[in-house]
Amino acid sequence: MKLNRLLGRWLPSGRTGVIAFPFFFLFLFFFVPFILVIGISFSEQRMGVPPYTNLTQIQDGVLNIALNLSHYQFLMTDDLYLATYLSSLKMALISTLCCLLIGYPIAYYIARAEASLRSTLMMLVMLPFWTSFLIRVYAWVAILKNDGLLNHFLIWLGLIHDPLRLYHTNWGVYIGMVYSYLPFMIMPLYAHLVKMDLALLEAAYDLGAKPWKAFFRITLPLSKNGIIAGSLLVFIPAVGEYVIPELLGGADTLMIGRVMWNEFFDNIDWPMAAAVTCAMVLLLLVPMALFQHYQTKEMEELS
């Protein structure tokens, strides 16, 4: 009996055990790796396996810790890196705004459609998200190329005479981003618009408000959280996007995810890639914290 109680104090209870199982999995494979990235961003590139030096070294009984700051110095002084950060932010921001402008009316009219149609309409929005991301980006290559389907069509219509240059330019990247991330914008917008109480709009109309005014004074403010959630769902991954600029962008399309990929796979400079990653995380810290805030709020609202 005594032993039991003693053991009970030391062994985790059932509740703690249940929490610990997913917690430790995520802690080991998601959280710890970030600490390692920070550490390795302070080491130096070398030939061999692994291709970076150790931070600590014991020599003649003395522990030496060498922090190499050169990667960060380089990141902050090099014009190309600075331009890449700004360009990533700009492209992600413009893509997010376009997604919002296109996604809002779609989400709005799905939410106002017949109740029996809504779930089918939403399934049709989500279906492209289930099919391959890579395939959906690739599908645009055939459309955007100089001798591609869009240019053929526009020339046939007589609207243009010389083909538009879209493939391998920033325009291609914007189109690819909006196309790929649109479902992520529509989902939260729809979720907020569909649960809105329409009696509020009726009241506004009864009091003489014009439809536009009612929209800006009632519908839009009520869908604010949906707008924020959708924008974050698009903006954060878009900043670090690699596949879209690589397939649709040009050699001059500067995006931070691409630069990191090149440092890692082409230059085999892992410490530099780690430093670029840390800078990217720093850039995304505020949007990520905002996302976490709204997700937690959402979870609590449900109960």
The footprint of another protein on residues 132-151 (CB under 8 A) is 132-136, 138-143, 145, 147-149
Cα separation of 129 and 182, whole Å?
9
Choice from 91, 98, 121, 254 touching another protein (CB under 8 A): 121
Q: Which is nearer to another protein, 2 or 117 (CB)?
A: 117
Choice from 125, 193, 227, 272 touching another protein (CB under 8 A): 125
Cα separation of 46 and 239, whole Å?
30
CB of 158 to another protein, least distance (A): 19
Peptide bond into 163 cis (omega under 30): no
CB of 100 to another protein, least distance (A): 13
User: Is residue 27 involved in binding another protein (CB under 8 A)?
Assistant: yes
Cα separation of 139 and 167, whole Å?
12
Choice from 3, 10, 29, 116 touching another protein (CB under 8 A): 29
Q: Which is nearer to another protein, 2 or 184 (CB)?
A: 184
User: Is residue 34 involved in binding another protein (CB under 8 A)?
Assistant: yes
Beta bridge partners of residue 45, listed in sequence order: 52
> With CB under 8 A, what is the number of residues at the site for another protein?
92
CB of 293 to another protein, least distance (A): 10
User: Is residue 94 involved in binding another protein (CB under 8 A)?
Assistant: no
CB atoms within 10 A of CB 111: 22
CB of 222 to another protein, least distance (A): 14
Peptide bond into 12 cis (omega under 30): no
Q: Which is nearer to another protein, 2 or 115 (CB)?
A: 115
User: Is residue 1 involved in binding another protein (CB under 8 A)?
Assistant: no
State phi, psi for 268 to the nearest 5 degrees.
45, 40
User: Is residue 209 involved in binding another protein (CB under 8 A)?
Assistant: no
Please, which of residues 168-187 interact with another protein by CB under 8 A? 179, 182-183
Choice from 4, 9, 10, 14 touching another protein (CB under 8 A): 14
Please, which of residues 47-66 interact with another protein by CB under 8 A? 50
CB of 179 to another protein, least distance (A): 7
Residue 132 exposed, middle or buried by CB count within 10 Å (0-12, 13-18, 19+): exposed
CB 92 within 8 A of CB 178: no
Choice from 177, 187, 260, 272 touching another protein (CB under 8 A): 260
Choice from 70, 73, 205, 220 touching another protein (CB under 8 A): 205
Please, which of residues 281-300 interact with another protein by CB under 8 A? 281, 284, 288, 291-292, 295-296, 299
Cα separation of 235 and 289, whole Å?
13
User: Is residue 67 involved in binding another protein (CB under 8 A)?
Assistant: no
Cα separation of 276 and 254, whole Å?
14
Cα separation of 216 and 209, whole Å?
11
CB 250 within 8 A of CB 168: yes
Cα separation of 163 and 44, whole Å?
48
As given in the structure block, the two tokens for residue 259 are 């630069």
Position of tokens 């990520």? Answer: 288
